[in-house]
Amino acid sequence: MEIYWQTFYRFFLSQTVFRVPTTHDVLTTLFHPGHPKSHFDLLNLGLLGFQIVLYFALPKKYVQTFFLLYLTFWRAAYDAGLGWVLTKQSKKKWIVRKVQRLGWLDAQRRPAVRDWIKKQLAGKMGSDYSFDVSMCTVSAFNTILGARFRPLTKY
């Protein structure tokens, strides 16, 4: 039996309160065979497998140096990129405005994109998540950061 805590969030300006849906950790969704795998998950697993092959294929005297530089570069890029995106989101609501402008969550303007995003999020969120009930801000944030791009650079 799994026990989940309910978390509530309040938007600062509008004072709107909503319940944050349950999410599972990246390692469980990526490696557990019971969780559905998205295209991004399969890409992620392929890249992880390629790194293992690369580790054994490179000459032993270069492996440590290569992976030290490789992982340092990707960690710095992840931290800088995430910091930049979150700063733009907090100051200008960049993610939400971009998603609204492009119509990614609008069933009339971009139904194929909306359905694809809905399918991707439904596989990652808990059973208490409803795409149609969630506010645009929550779905937009999950689309861009919360459920997709974070796992690609986490390792």
Prediction pTM value: 0.64
Task: Say if residues 47 and 55 touch (Cβ distance below 8 Å).
Answer: no
pLDDT at 52: 95
3-state SS assignment for residue 10? strand
Query: From the first residue on, what is the mean pLDDT of each consecutive set of 10 residues in the chain (155 residues)?
Result: 55 62 77 84 92 94 94 94 89 86 89 87 72 60 49 43
Q: Which residues, in sequence order, are CB contacts of 83 under 8 Å at separation 6+?
A: none
Q: Which residues, in sequence order, are CB contacts of 145 under 8 Å at separation 6+?
A: 82, 85, 86, 95
The domain locations on the chain are 7-152
